[in-house]
Structure 1
Amino acid sequence: MNLKDHILLWNHALIEIIDIRHTFQRSGDLNSHYQLPSSAFLLIINGKAEILIDEVPHEIGNFHILHGGKGMNIQFLRTEELLEYYLILYKANLSLASRNNLKTIMEHNNPFNLQYGFTPTSPLPLFDKMENMFTDWGKAGLLDRLHVKTLFYQWIYEMLRQLYTLETQLIQPDPLDQAIRYMQAYYKETFSLEKLAKAVNSSPRTLSRLFRTRLQTSPAQYLISIRMEKSKILLLNTEASLHDIAIAVGYPDGYYLGKMFKKYYGISPVRYKNKLITQPSWRDMPSQGAQIDIARTQPLRYIDYDNHYQYNGEGELPMFRNAKPSLLLTLLLCFTIVLSACSTGTTNLNASSNGTPTPSAETSTGANTDKAAVEAQTRIISTVKGDIAVPTSPQRVVVLYLLGDVLALGIKPIGVSDVSEGAAFEDELKDVQKLGTWFEASPEAILALNPDLIIVPSEETYEALHQIAPTVLVPYERMSTEERVSFIGQVVGKEDQAEELFTDFHKKVEDSKQKLQEAGILDHTISIMEGGKDNSMAVVASKQFGRGSQIIYEYLGMKAPEIIQQKIDTTTGADGESVSFEVLSKYSGDYIFRSSYDGMADLTQNPIWNNIPAVKEGRLMEIDFGLGYYSDIYSLNVQLDYIVEALLAAPRVK
Structure 2
Amino acid sequence: MTKRWQIVKLGLVLGLMGSLLLGACGAKQPTSTTVTRTDYLKHKVKVPKHPKRIVASYLEDDLVALGIKPVVQWSVKNGSGTQAYLKEQLKGVPLIDYSLPYEAVTKAKPDLILIGTSSAVANGKYAQYNKIAPTYVVKNGTTVTWRQTFLDVAKVVNRQAKAKKVLAKYDKQVQTTRQALKKSGQHKVAVLWVTNNTAYMVNDNSASGALLYQDLQLGEPSLVKQVSKSATADWSAVSLEKLAKLDADDIFLVNSQKSASLFKDPLWKNIKAVKNNHLYQYGDSSSWQYSGPIAYSQMIDMVKTDLLK
Q: CA deviation at 1:484?
A: 1.1
Query: Could you tell me how far apart the structure 2 residues matched to 1:502 and 1:572 are?
Result: 28
Distance 1:421 1:433, change over 3 A: closer
Q: Which amino acid aligns with 1:479?
A: V
**What is the 5 A alignment of 1:326-475?**
373=30, 375-383=31-39, 384-418=41-75, 420-421=81-82, 423-437=84-98, 440-457=99-116, 458-460=120-122, 461-475=125-139
Q: CA deviation at 1:402?
A: 1.1
Q: CA deviation at 1:600?
A: 5.2
Distance 1:540 1:391, change over 3 A: closer
Query: Could you tell me how far apart the structure 2 residues matched to 1:532 and 1:456 are?
Result: 27
Name the SS of the counterpart of 2:133 in structure 1: coil
Name the SS of the counterpart of 2:85 in structure 1: coil
Q: Is the 8 A contact 2:53 2:111 kept in 1?
A: yes
Q: Which has the higher contact order (CA 8 A, sep 6+)?
A: 2
Q: CA deviation at 1:619?
A: 0.6
Q: CA deviation digits over 1:40-79, x for unaligned, max 9?
A: xxxxxxxxxxxxxxxxxxxxxxxxxxxxxxxxxxxxxxxx
Q: Is the 8 A contact 2:189 2:250 kept in 1?
A: yes
Query: Could you tell me how far apart the structure 2 residues matched to 1:399 and 1:500 are?
Result: 22
Match of 1:589 among 242, 248, 254: 248
Match of 1:610 among 258, 261, 269: 269
Q: CA deviation at 1:571?
A: 6.1
Please say if 1:502 is aligned against 2:163.
no
Q: Which amino acid aligns with 1:404?
A: D
**What is the 5 A alignment of 1:218-617?**
373=30, 375-383=31-39, 384-418=41-75, 420-421=81-82, 423-437=84-98, 440-457=99-116, 458-460=120-122, 461-477=125-141, 478-520=143-185, 523-531=186-194, 537-544=199-206, 546=207, 548-568=208-228, 574=234, 576-581=236-241, 583-598=242-257, 601=260, 605-617=264-276
Name the SS of the counterpart of 1:629 in structure 2: coil
Q: What percent identity do the matched residue pairs reach? A: 25
Q: CA deviation at 1:514?
A: 1.2
Q: Which residue of 1 aligns with 2:19?
A: none
**What is the 5 A alignment of 1:125-144?**
none
Q: CA deviation at 1:598?
A: 4.2
Query: Could you tell me how far apart the structure 1 residues matched to 2:279 and 2:302 are?
Result: 14
Query: Could you tell me how far apart the structure 1 residues matched to 2:294 and 2:191 are?
Result: 21
Distance 1:596 1:463, change over 3 A: farther
Query: Could you tell me how far apart the structure 2 residues matched to 1:395 and 1:524 are?
Result: 45
Distance 1:445 1:577, change over 3 A: closer
Name the SS of the counterpart of 2:131 in structure 1: coil
Q: CA deviation digits over 1:288-320, x for unaligned, max 9?
A: xxxxxxxxxxxxxxxxxxxxxxxxxxxxxxxxx
Q: CA deviation digits over 1:221-272, x for unaligned, max 9?
A: xxxxxxxxxxxxxxxxxxxxxxxxxxxxxxxxxxxxxxxxxxxxxxxxxxxx
Query: Could you tell me how far apart the structure 2 residues matched to 1:413 and 1:637 are?
Result: 21
Q: CA deviation at 1:603?
A: 5.3
Query: Could you tell me how far apart the structure 1 residues matched to 2:92 and 2:139 are?
Result: 28
Distance 1:449 1:607, change over 3 A: closer
Distance 1:591 1:491, change over 3 A: same
Q: CA deviation digits over 1:75-107, x for unaligned, max 9?
A: xxxxxxxxxxxxxxxxxxxxxxxxxxxxxxxxx
Q: Which amino acid aligns with 2:68?
A: I
Q: CA deviation at 1:604?
A: 5.4
**What is the 5 A alignment of 1:36-115?**
none
Distance 1:533 1:598, change over 3 A: closer
Structure (1 or 2) with the larger CA radius of gyration: 1
Distance 1:608 1:409, change over 3 A: same
Query: Could you tell me how far apart the structure 1 residues matched to 2:217 and 2:282 are?
Result: 18
Name the SS of the counterpart of 1:618 in structure 2: coil
Distance 1:421 1:446, change over 3 A: closer
Q: Which amino acid aligns with 2:251?
A: I
Q: Is the 8 A contact 1:532 1:600 kept in 2?
A: no
Q: Which amino acid aligns with 2:193?
A: E
Q: Which residue of 2 aligns with 1:165?
A: none
Q: RMSD value over aligned CA atoms?
A: 2.8
Q: CA deviation at 1:646?
A: 1.9
Q: TM-score with structure 2 length normalisation? A: 0.77
Q: Is the 8 A contact 2:43 2:136 kept in 1?
A: no
Q: CA deviation at 1:512?
A: 0.8
Q: Which amino acid aligns with 1:526?
A: V
Query: Could you tell me how far apart the structure 1 residues matched to 2:306 and 2:126 are?
Result: 40
**How many residues were matched structurally?**
271
Distance 1:468 1:539, change over 3 A: closer
Q: CA deviation at 1:462?
A: 2.9
Q: CA deviation at 1:376?
A: 2.4
